[in-house]
Structures are given as structure tokens and as C-alpha cells.
A and B are shown apart, each in its own frame.
Chain A
């Protein structure tokens, strides 16, 4: 037999990295080729030698030095705790702003209808407020004449706060998901 197997193929075989059909073809060749069988045995000895290198003992305990270094770092704060904290703050803010417990338990349909109405009102008010501001800018006399547009009831602000929280949770989840997929291997 004149065509012998390449060493890289033998290495891939020992690494278990060949496709099943490649492996079968290689083994058939090995059965009829003493030279390649000897090459494989030599490669196997090299693999065993590399893998068999003895482990060295560590001369000292690294724990105190690591803990000391860690004490100079900011404490590890889990993202869930931040989420819980912000969630609690959001709920608290909603209650303070007058959303009211009874309104929370009214049901999703009622809430969504109210939110839609409030958003529409807010939109109108923002538009009219902006137009008013533009009008005032044309005849600008003094700062005391500027009045912030009335954005309506506290419910609008609560709605905006809840929407922001939802965006925060979804966005944070997506970002963390990406990071985990990339870094953990």
C-alpha cells in the first residue's frame, strides 16, 4: 500500500473529531496497513504522555490574598436584587401617586382601557403644551410668564412610570441573555 494516512487525520481520530464515515474508512485502512498502525501507536503514546503530565502542588493557600483583593472591590450585587428593588420602588411610587390599591385589582381590561384614555389625554396635553410653548417663544417677555403644561392627573405619571419599568425589565433581560450566551462557555 502506497497511500498512507496523514498524521493530522490520525490526531483527529484520537481526538474523536472524525465524522462516522471518516472513522470507518480510517479503521479499514488501519486494518490493512502496518505502517499507519505504527504511526497511530506513536501518536497515541504522545497523547498519553502529554495528558499524563503530573500535577504540581500549590505551595501556599491563595484564599487570604484573594479575599483581601476582593475586599477592595465593590460588593457583587445580583441583578435580580436591583430588579426587585426597582420593582418595589415602582409599585410604591404608583401607590403614592394615587393609582390606588382598588384600581390595581380592577382587572387588566379596565386598566388597559384607562391607560389608553390617559395616554390619549397626555398626548393631547403634550401637543397643546408644546404649541403653547412655541407660541410663547415668539412673544417672549419674561421667565415668569412661562408655565409648565399641565400633564393632568397623577395616573398619567404612574402609567409612564409603569411603562418605563416594563421596558427596563424586558431590556435588562435581553441584555443579560446576550451576555450569558457570549461569556459562559
Chain B
């Protein structure tokens, strides 16, 4: 039997069929968890936030356009949930710590080479969790959700110029962190 489309499940949920939403959770829980895990770097916390994401998504289903794909929408909700969580948790000083953004030293080693190998993902994940929350968010939205600069600016409610500078600085920090951990 053919599986129901996401759109049908959303419409059934809107008619009050909560089990239909359960099917959406089953389909997208892994993707949502990975957004949260990249943003937070801690499994248990990521699972909690993934759960919160689905509850938030359910409550905001009225604002979702059922003619557009559900997956990208719920991953964006996850990013916002994690960012709000980090904003509440992170002291403002970390967000403004521009010293972290000093220029890369001229390196004989290519910093990106350290990414080769089995530990690359773990190292990168650690490096991402060292970023200020908004830098993490732009990396998540650009590299993993493939959003344009304009879409990121709209979602995070920041100017386009901030998206560009956050991305650039975040990448520089990531490259440096990876090089240092080599």
C-alpha cells in the first residue's frame, strides 16, 4: 500500500487526527535530530530539542503552507528552536567575542586537510559547537539546509550583510579550529 503524502498527513492533522502527525514525526525525527545535534553538540539535549521542535511545529501548523514540502519547513523550525535555546543559555559576551575571529595564520599545512579521515566529522562537530549561536545558525542554514543568503536573513531577521559576515567569520573560525586540533 502506498504511504500517504506529507501533505495528506498535514491536512489530516489539521482535521484533528493527531496520529497523522505522529507519522510525520516518524518520518522527520532523524533529520530534525541532526539539525539539533549540529547546533547543540550534545545528544540528550538534541533529542529534547527535537521533541520540542515537533511540538512547536504542531502548534504552528496553521502557519505552514501545505503546498510546500514539510521537511525543509520543520528543519527551519528546529533551527529557530535551537537558536532560541542557545540565546537563552549563552552569555552575551560569547556572542560578541570578536577576538575569536582573528585572521588565520599563514599555514604551511592546509587547514582543510585535517578533515580527511574518520575523525573529521567529530572534529568538525566539536568546532561548530564552539561557534557563537548565530554563527552556528548560518552554517546550519547555508551548508545543511542550502538556504540562500536572503532566505537566511529573513528567517533570522538579520540584515543580508550580517549573513555574509557571519558566514565568512564562522568558516574562518572552523578552518582555524580544525587546523589547531590537528
Contacts and interface: CB of A to CB of B under 8 A. Distances in A.
Interface of A: 7-8, 11-12, 15, 17, 42-43, 45-47, 49-63, 65-67, 69-71, 73, 75-79, 176, 179-180, 183-185
Nearest to B23: A63
A11 B142 CA distance: 12
B175 A46 contact: yes
Contacts of B43: 56, 59
B14 interface: yes
Interface string B10-50: 00011110110110011001100110011000010001001
B67 to A, nearest CB: 10
* Size bracket, chain B contacts: 35 or more
A65 B26 CA distance: 11
Nearest to B125: A53
Given A62-B51, A75-B18, A79-B62, 11 more contacts: A11-B167, A15-B149, A46-B115, A51-B144, A56-B34, A61-B26, A62-B54, A67-B18, A70-B58, A76-B16, A185-B76
A11 B55 contact: no
Nearest to B16: A75
A180 B65 contact: yes
Q: Which 10 A-B pairs have the closest CB atoms?
A: A183-B63, A49-B115, A45-B112, A58-B33, A54-B121, A63-B25, A66-B54, A8-B168, A46-B112, A62-B29
A65 B164 CA distance: 38
A66 B47 CA distance: 11
A184 B63 contact: yes
Interface in B127-182: 139, 142-144, 148-149, 151, 154-155, 164-165, 167-168, 171-172, 174-175, 178
Nearest to A38: B110
B58 A73 contact: yes
